[in-house]
């Protein structure tokens, strides 16, 4: 039986902590994140350049490490949605969802009948190549698949309450940079325009008992957002964690190892 741990995580408001992968889809990455204590991973196709061959491999890495994977696909096209599910994505994230109609299209594309209209492929990656009856397969896949609906436009904020009301929408995920651009305040996350929008999304999720997620660059911001109601806290990404840790170490090494002026090495 294929587990649906991510769906279970989305069913509670307890904080969940994860990491964003945009560069290092290496065989050991799942075990590294598991050892670090991650509850989930967000694996990006929108900006990373990863293709579905990479996704298929990465899903195996994270399954082996027992880390639930959310795959963010690059568009709302059916072939992107259905292929990610066929590759074994437990969670699916879609960028710039602005309307109820778009959310319904996504759900139809990712769910099997009777909940959706996804094309049938059984005993492949998503069900771990196991045999079984068609009815049981459909039921298991629909129960397992978890929809993270990305709110990152002014339109999405306006329709957040109606989107959150849809059965099958498990989490509203704020895309803060694109949202700030859409609202006309690029990068100004302290502006009233932006904070009012966040308040509206938080209220929509709370009203309908849905999870809330966001990428955070610092521990302090993650803690503050959790106090506001965010429960999926995705801490930074592989590129930035490596860069910042390495830059800090190199700078301290350079400062500590550079000889004083006029000094000579023996």
User: Residue 237's domain is classified under what CATH number?
Assistant: 3.20.20.60
Please name the helix (run of DSSP H) or strand (run of DSSP E) that holds residue 212, with its range, or none: strand 211-216
pLDDT tens-place string over residues 7-63: 999 999 999 999 999 999 999 999 999 999 999 999 999 999 999 999 999 999 999
Look up the domain containing 212 and give its range.
5-257
CA–CA separation, 233 and 248 (whole Å): 24
Tell me if 84 sits within 8 A of 137, measured CB to CB. Answer: no
This prediction has a pTM of 0.92
**Is pLDDT at 264 greater than 80 in this prediction?**
no
76 found inside a domain: yes
Compute the average pLDDT of residues 107-131.
93
Report the percent of the chain where pLDDT is more than 90: 92
pLDDT band at 197 (very low <50, low <70, confident <90, very high): very high
Tell me if 194 sits within 8 A of 185, measured CB to CB. Answer: yes
266 found inside a domain: no
Buried b (16+ CB within 10 A) or exposed e, 77-107: ebebbbbbbbbbbbbbbbbbbbeeebbebbb
Tell me if 43 sits within 8 A of 68, measured CB to CB. Answer: no
Our count of domains for the chain comes to 1
Among 4, 19, 31, 47, the one annotated catalytic: 47
263 found inside a domain: no
264 found inside a domain: no
The pLDDT, as a whole number, for residue 5 is 86
**Is pLDDT at 4 greater than 80 in this prediction?**
no
The pLDDT, as a whole number, for residue 2 is 46
66 found inside a domain: yes
47 is catalytic: yes
Instruction: Tell how far CA 88 is from the center of its chain.
Output: 15
């Amino acid at each position: 039986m294929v587990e649906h741990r991510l769906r279970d995580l989305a069913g509670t408001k307890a904080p969940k902590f994860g990491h964003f992968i945009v560069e290092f889809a290496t065989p050991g990455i799942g075990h590294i994140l598991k050892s670090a204590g991650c509850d989930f991973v967000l694996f990006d196709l929108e900006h990373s350049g990863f293709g579905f061959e990479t996704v298929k491999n990465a899903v195996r890495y994270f399954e082996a490490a027992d880390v639930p994977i959310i795959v963010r696909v690059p568009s709302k096209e059916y072939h992107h949605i259905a292929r990610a599910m066929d590759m074994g994505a437990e969670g699916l994230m879609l960028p710039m969802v602005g309307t109820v109609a778009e959310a319904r299209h996504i759900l139809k594309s990712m769910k099997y009948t009777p909940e959706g209209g996804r094309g049938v492929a059984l005993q492949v990656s998503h069900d771990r190549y196991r045999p079984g009856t068609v009815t049981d397969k459909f039921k298991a896949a629909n129960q397992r698949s978890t929809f993270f609906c990305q709110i990152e436009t002014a339109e999405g904020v306006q329709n957040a309450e109606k989107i959150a009301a849809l059965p099958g929408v498990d989490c509203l995920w704020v895309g803060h940079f694109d949202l700030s651009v859409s609202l006309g305040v690029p990068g100004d996350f302290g502006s009233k325009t932006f904070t009012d929008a966040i308040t509206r999304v938080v209220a929509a999720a709370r009203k309908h008992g849905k999870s809330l997620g966001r990428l955070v660059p610092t521990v302090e911001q993650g803690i503050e957002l959790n106090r506001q109601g965010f429960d999926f806290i995705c801490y930074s990404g592989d590129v930035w964690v490596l860069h910042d840790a390495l830059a800090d170490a190199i700078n301290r090494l350079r400062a500590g190892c550079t000889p004083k002026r006029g000094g000579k090495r023996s």
